[in-house]
Amino acid sequence: MATLPVSRLETIQRFGPHLSYPAGMRLDTAEDPDKVVKTHCCFCGQQCGIQLKVKDNVVIGFEPWEEFPFNQGMLCPKGVRRYLQGAHPDRLTTAYRRDANAAGGFSPMPYDAAVRRVAEEIDRIQSTHGADAFAVLSGASLTTEKTYLMGKFARMCLRTANIDYNGRLCMVSAGAANKKAFGIDRSANPWSDIPKAEVVLIAGSNVAECSPITTNYVWQARENGAKVIVVDPRITPIARTCDLFLPVKPGRDVALFNGILHLMIENGWIDQRFIEQFAVGFDAVAEHVRQWTPRQTAEVTGITESAIRQAAEWWGQAKSSFLMHARGIEHHSHGVYNVLSTINIVLASGRIGREGCGYATITGQANGQGGREHGQKCDQLPGLRDIENPEHRAYIAKIWGISPDDLPGKGVDAYEIFRKIDRGEIRGLLSICFNPKVSLPDNNFIGRMLDKLDFYVAIDFFLSESAHQADIVLPGSLQEEDEGVVTSAEGRVIKINKCVDPPGEAQQDWRIIQDIAAGLGRSRGFTFNEPREIFDELRRASAGGIADYAGITYEKVERQLGVFWPCPMDDHPGTPRLFEHGSWNPVALGRGPFYFPDGKARFNVATYTPPAEDVDADYPLMLTTGRVVSHFLSGAQTRRIGPLVDQYPEPRLELHPQLAEQLSIRDGDWATVESRRGSCTLRAQVVRTIRPDTVFVPYHWAGAKSINQVTIAAQDPISKIPEYKVCAVRVRREASPPAYAQQLEPQQ
């Protein structure tokens, strides 16, 4: 194992991650705040309401916000400790340029000069190699205003087709499948429908750790008598006391749901009337699942026949139900099919669009929903509009005051951007709210590509691992330093309120983007004075689209404690539950509940294919990855918060005792997990809560501890989501610790 290069160690020493802890950890009382701001947590798609205490322009603590209906004061550890990310020693308060002679590899520079340099480089690259040679990577934890502005900036100011965002790693399989089946990409139901369901089916979602507040909804359903079915290769905390646990082999979800549908049809547990009246394509699907007999399903999924039968019986016979899934079934090279196969059993049951009858994907990122609606996705324009649809192009071009011909076409997905860098087609990159060096699969490749760029500018509030490789780093803003709306997993538009000003030369992100536009001499359309002005334009841009925000105002959001889109008019209250009789639907216009011209939902044949990389003699185990409760995404924020790091300091390799025994690995031993792409040496955690043929590693760490060195860059052909949830690996015990164990602190 190679030791770390000195330069990387120096960068870490200078810029962190270092840990922050509450001040004065004694028995002294806390200071009284100057003000308490009602806002939302910056982590995860549930967007819990929280009150932040502010004193002297610093967030000093929190207080639960019990009136906010979604979480009623509840928080997870990330929410409780989120305030510790402000006033952090690692916080970037000035612009930096890469400088091999400077301590830590970067030297500070004036903000204006940095912006000028960025504009010059963009101009140079685009005039030499064409507009598309400069790409933009954005993020789904930004406010919706910012995501709107990023899309507009890329298309109207940079005129590049190549903008994409990190929702590509998160929401796109669900989004694509939802559009195929329902014509709309949003959770069909508010969470308040969960406790009203007789059966709750959770597929590929570690609810307890990734969306902890949802736990209470699931338990409430169980208190009301619901059966809880969990599909997962690991017994997560939500699975521990569920009524039926289906330990699916990673990557075999299509088979499972096809098998369940097979049994539903065989036993007549389908809603024939609903299917005929409100859906099309059932016959083809019925025909397709005929091959998925219980025996066949059991063999492919690795689940016993009796358990599959039990699941079909409970799901089939329920009067009301709620099906939810998350990255567990979405992070696959056939993620869209996985999702479609779950939607098929929902549609066949006829239990959707009614109270207590629901379906939802649990959004992962802070603005995972809002971030994919308004045009920072490579194929989308604001309002969930399609960039290849001439009418949609014309509408947005009119709002922006440009000719539709000047609007670039469809770009490529986030991973493809790196392949284009490899091919020399993309020479420059601007990233914001995205840490691809940690979060993309096979990330040693990503690291090489970042180095290969002619010019890379990162906008960030901490020097993320990706920003380590930037030429210029512009100091952006934390969530609490700006205002704007985000849309939660439920489809509820809520308001982030500003608590403090950005420190030093740090700027609100949208100002940085406008400054770059000004530096390029293309200020037109980028002269907003506050987020509210951006939001007002976004409302107009989304009007008439599916994600219609036209009737949403900041005041309405605050008054109603959130507004569910679509909300097309000022006097419209919003749409908590989709597909209800008479609810707003600009596509079907009364012909039916779903967002197609005939108003009918689509059954889609979901064909089973094994994972892109199946196990073999050389790599006999399956690796699956995921989150832990105290960290968020690439860890750029949570790995800097001391108490969260203490809770789960370093990634561990989870494996079953049977497997551990074969490999002579004991709990706490060092072990290397290795694929055809890379390897990672971690401490083993031997637990009986994982399939014996599968190992698990959480993905929040960087460098030598990053499991994404090992994962595969295979992508779903439709959604382009990478296959994080399964690849082939082998595991061996290590006699001695890896070099990083002596050189780095756990979070680094």
* Contacting another protein within 623-682 (CB under 8 A): 629-630, 643, 647, 656-657, 667
Q: Is 209 in the site for another protein (CB under 8 A)?
A: yes
Q: What angle do CA 125, 129, 135 make, to 5 degrees?
A: 65
Q: Which of residues 21-80 bind another protein (CB under 8 A)?
A: 21-22, 24-30, 61-62, 64, 66, 71, 73-77, 79-80
Assess whether the previous peptide bond of 250 is cis (omega < 30° from 0).
no
For another protein, the closer of residues 241 and 527 by Cβ is 241
Closer residue to another protein, CB minimum distance, 385 or 725 = 725
Among 94, 689, 718, 733, binds another protein (CB under 8 A): 689
Q: Which residue lies nearer to another protein by CB, 22 or 620?
A: 22
* Piece in contact with another protein (CB under 8 A), picked from 16-24, 250-258, 275-283, 341-349: 16-24
Q: What's the first-to-final CA gap in the chain, in angstroms? A: 17
Residue 37 C-alpha from the chain's centroid? 26
The Cα–Cα gap between 250 and 524 comes to: 50
* Closer residue to another protein in complex, CB, 386/693: 693
For the bound state, the minimum distance from the C-beta of residue 35 to another protein, rounded and expressed in Å, comes to 17
Q: Which is nearer to another protein, 225 or 268 (CB)?
A: 225
- Site pattern 572..611 for another protein (x: CB under 8 A): ----------------------------------------
* Smaller CB separation from another protein, 61 or 599: 61
With binding defined as CB under 8 A, does residue 691 bind another protein?
yes
Where does 131-228 have alpha helices with state H?
Answer: 144-152, 172-182, 207-210, 214-223
Query: Which part of the chain contacts another protein (CB under 8 A), choosing from 261-269, 317-325, 513-521, 687-695?
Result: 687-695
Q: Which is nearer to another protein, 544 or 643 (CB)?
A: 643
In the complex, minimum distance from the CB of residue 675 to another protein, in angstroms, rounded to a whole number? 24
Which region, judged by CB under 8 A, interacts with another protein, from 208-216, 344-352, 475-483, 486-494? 208-216
Of 490-519, which residues contact another protein (CB under 8 A)?
none
Which range touches another protein (CB under 8 A), out of 159-167, 296-304, 316-324, 488-496?
Answer: 296-304
For residue 262, give the amino acid letter. H
Q: How far is the CB of 674 from another protein (least distance, A)?
A: 24
Ordered strands of the 492-496 beta sheet? 484-487, 492-496, 563-564
Q: At its nearest, how many Å lie between another protein and the CB of residue 205?
A: 13
Q: Indicate the pairing of strand 563-564 with strand 492-496.
A: antiparallel
Nearest to 609 by CA among 355, 386, 300: 300
Site residues (CB under 8 A) for another protein, limited to 79-98: 79-81
Closer residue to another protein (CB): 66 or 388: 66
Interactions with another protein, residue window 215-254 (CB under 8 A): 215-216, 219-220, 222-225, 228, 235-247
Nearer to another protein, 570 or 667 (CB): 667
Compute the distance between CA of residue 99 and CA of residue 457 in angstroms, rounded to an integer: 14
Task: Look at strands 455-460 and 472-475 and give their pairing.
Answer: parallel
- The one among 144, 685, 709, 711 contacting another protein by CB under 8 A: 685
Let me know: does 262 contact 297? Beta carbons within 8 Å. yes
CA 511 – CA 531 distance, rounded (Å): 10
> What residue has token string 């960087």?
702
216 versus 743: smaller Cβ distance to another protein: 216
- How near is the Cβ of 229 to another protein at its closest, in Å? 10
The per-residue b/e assignment along 508-545, b for 16 or more CB within 10 angstroms, e otherwise, is: bbbbbbbbbbebbebeebbebeebeebbebbbbbbbeb
Please, which residues have CB within 8 angstroms of residue 520's CB and are 6 or more apart in sequence? 119, 122, 123, 157, 158
CA angle 280, 283, 284 (to 5 degrees): 95
